[in-house]
A and B are shown apart, each in its own frame.
Chain A
Amino acid sequence: MSCTLGEVKNRADFIIYWGGNPAECHPRHFTKYTLTQKGKFLPRGRKDRTMVLVDIRETMSAKAADIFLQVRPGKDFEMLTILRALVKNQKVSAEAVADTGLTLEQLQDLVDRMKKAKFGVLFFGMGLSMTRGKHMNSAAALTLAAEMNAFTKFVAMPMRGHGNVTGADVVLRYTTGYPFGISLTRGYPRFNPGEYSTIDLLVRGDNDATLVIGADPGATMPKPAIEHLKRTPTIVLDPKVTHTSRLARVHITTAVTGVSAPGTAYRMDEVPLPLRPALKSPYPTDEDVLKRIIAAVQKKPAWYPETRNQAQIA
């Protein structure tokens, strides 16, 4: 269950940030959407809203929060599960509560406030989705938000970084039916994170070539993955010669998205926005280069022999 940031601005009177540091990573999130703006149903702006920050350390964002809850590292899933129990008025063991580094009073107070809210939002960042528990944590956060709808309007939204990563999800979803980690090796899409996710493929050495667009895995990925990028032919499309370009077989310089390349990008709430580039690049765009690679591939014989396909059908 999610909503747009416009709805957050106009309606959300209770905001939780979990495992994210918007003050430093999404600096205008507070001022444009979640905290300081006056909304249609929140005429007093910041005064009409309550903000809770859940994180393992007191980041810059804690200064903006009304309540800061310092969860013990790696105990997010446990805390979410206790909150879900409290929402349903179930008993929770004192040890389980103590394990999260918080008190029962703090957690009960949070649940009471969540229930009293008119419109609650749970924004969760990589501190939740990329630490111990990973997608199980995200699932628990989404379930908590969904279950809160028995009491009030409550939504959850991931705090996406990396410009148009939301656009990648959307485009892959509407073209293949799945958001990421998709194999087309049989000619139809199959989805299996862990099998078709990049790090797993590279570390196991499953793929025998890589095309990298708008990313620099050579600077961020674990060593065995980088070794595999070096071992097999890698192609990079990027506005800069990156770490990955240096270990790649082919690098093509492209225009910068939004600065000198036009197109569309999705905001984290899945609202598509047009890009208005201010500069004219001496380099082609990613789109142009990909079209040219496609045209060059199409001149070659298809990767599956047509006869075999026909034989199978017959």
Chain B
Amino acid sequence: MSTSVMPEGAKHELTVVKHATCTFCGCVCDDIELHANSERIVETKRACILGEAWFKNHTAERLYPDALIDGKEATVDEAVEAAADILHKANMPLVYGLSNTTCEAQRQAVWLAELVGGVIDSHTSL
């Protein structure tokens, strides 16, 4: 685990992303300037208090295992296979969520739901 602040003259290069888009709330502000090193975002210009927390709390560190099956660490390949088995065997699988993801992933989710003959639903129904 690394320290939260990058010391001056450190080996990390600073990346500046202009017009970054924040997906924390429905405002989807697209005028944020992000300063990041290879591991974390260190500055969030123009972001609100919620956006700043969103950007700074998510890092590129490997904090979690790639995948878990029944609580045990597994590879993504194994987990993908297990997921496909479960969804294929089910009579009525449900695909749910879709808020904190991209439209591209949402499209794939619709396709998958169709493929396994399931139900698809989002946070909108809550």
Contact = CB atoms under 8 A, between A and B. Distances in A.
Nearest to A163: B23
B109 interface: yes
A112 B46 CA distance: 37
Given A181-B125, A183-B119, A167 B103 contact: yes
Given A32-B29, A201-B94, A250-B68, A257 B20 contact: no
B67 A250 contact: yes
Interface string A157-182: 00111111111111110011001111
B42 to A, nearest CB: 10
B110 A162 contact: no
Contacts of B93: 207-211
A168 B99 contact: yes
A113 to B, nearest CB: 26
A161 to B, nearest CB: 6
A75 to B, nearest CB: 22
Contacts of A256: 58
B101 A214 contact: yes
A184 B125 contact: no
B104 interface: yes
Contacts of A241: 64-65, 68
A25 interface: yes
Interface in B1-58: 15, 17, 19-30, 34, 36, 38-41, 48-51, 54-55, 58
B108 to A, nearest CB: 4
Contacts of B23: 163-164, 257-258, 265, 275
Interface in B64-101: 64-71, 76, 79-84, 86-101
A253 B102 contact: no
